[in-house]
Structure 1
Amino acid sequence: MKKRYIIEDARKHLVEQINGIEGIEGTAMQENLVKNTKGLSAVIPKDNDGYCTVYKMDCADGLGLMTVYQVYPGIQLIYNDFEATGCEWEGALGQNILEINHCREGREGSKLLSGSCLYLGEGDMSIHTMDNCASEMAFPLKHYRGISVVINLELVSEYPPQTLAESGIDILEFKEKFCADGNCFIMRAKDEIEHIFSELYSVPDCLQKPYFKLKVQELLLFLCMVDVTKEKQREMYTSPQVEIVKEIHKKLISNLQERSTIEELSKEFLINTATLKATFKGIYGQPIGTYMKEYRMKQAAVLLRQTKSTIAEIANQVGYENQSKFSTAFRDVLKITPAEYRKQNASE
């Protein structure tokens, strides 16, 4: 059975919240969120003015936290922390709500209304209107940490931050610039993105309000200067391709003692080998062989910590008949021998 976060109305409510102006109206809306939100274990206001709210999600395989800061009227900055395979929500979202996502750790996937699927790797940034994505986000590595900046274009156009107003930038033009014809804009990891977002992951509490305001304005000014025609877009994958590759992934990790070749998988699942290799790497961030080697070693590390099985037995359980080859692979991935790793983690 597929495990995933269920955030049925959280994202819709976040959009509703972003439509509010700071102050009394925002506080009242926060109270409605607590009453109406489904699938959340807690909605925790961190202050009295509605500036910061933490949304806590429970599910079978872990927790998710979305920490939401109301930086300006119509602009939210959201810290996303997920340990799960995905999240979903209900209801249509606004066409004039722009979402900018930055992936710090893990991978994040979205399905567009066209049926195309796209994936962000570490350091990547995406921009899309919130009504253009289907009601599910995927976290293929079962771990995701990132930042979202959500912008109500009409509200920000009416109440622009000072720097934006002084620059003469028309925020409404961002939709046509980055999301024309239902597209989603992807910018691969680069120094400029790293500079803007990396500093947001370590801001002292006492400096958050002024610093968030500066960084959001810096981001908007940077986006104004971006020439979208010069940015090479990430490849997108069709929904059927993605579903087939997810089934292949499930088969690969369900029995680590079995070693299927790409050709065998291609024939069994009726998918072209080139498409299989490209789509797998697009979803999981690595070629199949590299991914499975690391997956096997991580599972071996768990067995070394939590069981008394011999190293030879563990090697066999993760698909290595030769203990020497297993030890070499383990050291390649974890930079330590299995015996040393077990000794270091003997207290667990």
Structure 2
Amino acid sequence: MGQQIDPILMTRYLVRERRISSLVRCMDFAYKDGTGFIFLLELYPGVQLWVNDFKMREIWMPRIENYHYLKLNYCLGGRCEVKLPDNRYVYLSSDRVSVDLNAAFGRVTLPTARYLGLELLIDLSVVGKKLPAAWVECGLDLCLAESRLLSQKGSWLGLAPPEWSQKAQALAEHITKGDMELADYRFLTMELLYLLKKGSYSVSAAEQTFLTQGQRSVAMRVEQKLNSDLSKKYIIPELAAEQGVSPSALKKYFTQIYGKPISVYLREKRMERAQDLLSVTQLSIADIAAEVGYENQGKFGAAFRKITGATPLEFRRLNRNHYRYKEN
């Protein structure tokens, strides 16, 4: 029988818990067509470390009454949508750090259906009363951090430098392996917090791109249309006109959410679809080329080889042991 994760997390998932070590447990969960893993350990009473590994388009999170948590999220890979209190959206991508006091609830979008991140979760109602001694000695002041966050509507976004990123990556790997002692996890976490306190990681206003709900909807409708029929040829000015925005605006909105230009996104989706068709169907190469929007087999073959390193026929043969098909 599925077991629910801690109250702050999801409640709509089929969840199975397993132990990685005496300190680390892993929650495997599934929802619709997605799967995920959450590795978590308790550093101190009221302080948890998580590694979130999601392969889905959205995560549902319940509304938490009397929310009193401070969260630090660091993106190791993929993208995650963050909704700000003023109904604007920003997207965490690799090497971005967010610290916030705002509760995430409802549907949280993962635009690329992939997110890997390190999260530090602090229950201020517990830790605010008694900070870990090592944190106090390093001058880590949660009251000051909370005050500064409140002056910024509860959210802060930063770009981590290489040193910080390397340490965060190492900590995440140790959590998933469960191969350290509690004192080691505490030290590495404190080191990250200290470096964050001492460093200047803020993202300038020029580097930050926020989207309104309307701008977000424009990009998502276009993404849905692209995926609805990969055989069609799409013209950006025409797509923009349908949405009532300029081509430059559409390009900006789309790249902000999905992390790549429309042309790159579309090419990757076409190649993914082509690989599926080569693996699991008996369609000819020419038919597959047409199915994914290429005028002829030659252009398709050249594009496919550039992306995968193999010709379509080579790819099909390499998958011979996994799928049944009839070569034409």
Structure 1 and Structure 2 fold alike (TM over 0.5): yes
**Residue of 71, 84, 94 corresponding to 1:99:** 71
Q: What is the aligned-residue RMSD (CA, Å)? A: 2.5
Q: CA contact under 8 A between 1:103 and 1:146: conserved in structure 2?
A: yes
TM-score under structure 2 normalisation? Answer: 0.87
**In 1: Cα distance, 2:20 partner to 2:228 partner:** 45
Write the mapping of 1:247-262 to structure 2, written as runs, cut at 5 A. 247-262=221-236
Q: CA contact under 8 A between 1:45 and 1:52: conserved in structure 2?
A: no
**In 2: Cα distance, 1:229 partner to 1:145 partner:** 21
- Aligned residue number for residue 264 of structure 2: 290
- Aligned residue number for residue 329 of structure 1: 303
Unpaired runs of 5+ residues, structure 1, are: 1-8, 16-36
The structural deviation recorded for 1:177 is 3.3
- Aligned residue number for residue 171 of structure 1: 142
- Secondary structure in 2 matching 1:182: coil
Q: 1:187 to 1:331 in 2, by over 3 A?
A: farther
**Residue of 7, 29, 51 corresponding to 1:57:** 29
Write the mapping of 1:1-348 to structure 2, written as runs, cut at 5 A. 13-14=7-8, 38-42=11-15, 44=17, 46=19, 51-92=23-64, 96-131=68-103, 133-178=104-149, 180-188=151-159, 190-203=161-174, 204-227=177-200, 231=204, 233-348=207-322
Q: CA contact under 8 A between 1:161 and 1:217: conserved in structure 2?
A: no
**In 1: Cα distance, 2:134 partner to 2:86 partner:** 36
The structural deviation recorded for 1:217 is 0.4
Residues 212-265 of structure 1, C-alpha deviations (whole Å, 9 max, x = no match): 211210111012113366755521100111112111100001101111211101
Match of 1:269, as an amino acid?
A: Q
Match of 1:305, as an amino acid?
A: S
Residues 56-112 of structure 1, C-alpha deviations (whole Å, 9 max, x = no match): 432220322222211112211111121211112222455541111122222111212
**In 2: Cα distance, 1:136 partner to 1:153 partner:** 24
The structural deviation recorded for 1:200 is 2.1
Identity of aligned residues (%): 27
- Secondary structure in 1 matching 2:142: coil
**In 1: Cα distance, 2:53 partner to 2:202 partner:** 32
The structural deviation recorded for 1:294 is 1.0
The structural deviation recorded for 1:180 is 2.5
Match of 2:199, as an amino acid?
A: V
Residues 168-222 of structure 1, C-alpha deviations (whole Å, 9 max, x = no match): 3312211233452315222235303322211023224241523321121011101
Match of 1:270, as an amino acid?
A: G
**In 2: Cα distance, 1:84 partner to 1:138 partner:** 9
**In 2: Cα distance, 1:93 partner to 1:332 partner:** 52
Q: CA contact under 8 A between 2:231 and 2:292: conserved in structure 1?
A: yes
Q: Greater helix share, 1 or 2?
A: 1
Match of 2:118, as an amino acid?
A: I
Q: CA contact under 8 A between 2:51 and 2:118: conserved in structure 1?
A: yes
- Secondary structure in 2 matching 1:207: coil
- Secondary structure in 2 matching 1:146: strand
Q: CA contact under 8 A between 1:71 and 1:212: conserved in structure 2?
A: yes
Q: CA contact under 8 A between 2:70 and 2:101: conserved in structure 1?
A: yes
**In 1: Cα distance, 2:173 partner to 2:283 partner:** 41
Q: How many residues are treated as equivalent by the alignment?
A: 316
- Secondary structure in 2 matching 1:14: coil
Q: CA contact under 8 A between 2:24 and 2:41: conserved in structure 1?
A: yes
**In 2: Cα distance, 1:117 partner to 1:227 partner:** 23
Residues 22-74 of structure 1, C-alpha deviations (whole Å, 9 max, x = no match): xxxxxxxxxxxxxxx7323235363998x544334322203222222111122
Q: 1:275 to 1:179 in 2, by over 3 A?
A: farther
Q: 1:48 to 1:193 in 2, by over 3 A?
A: closer
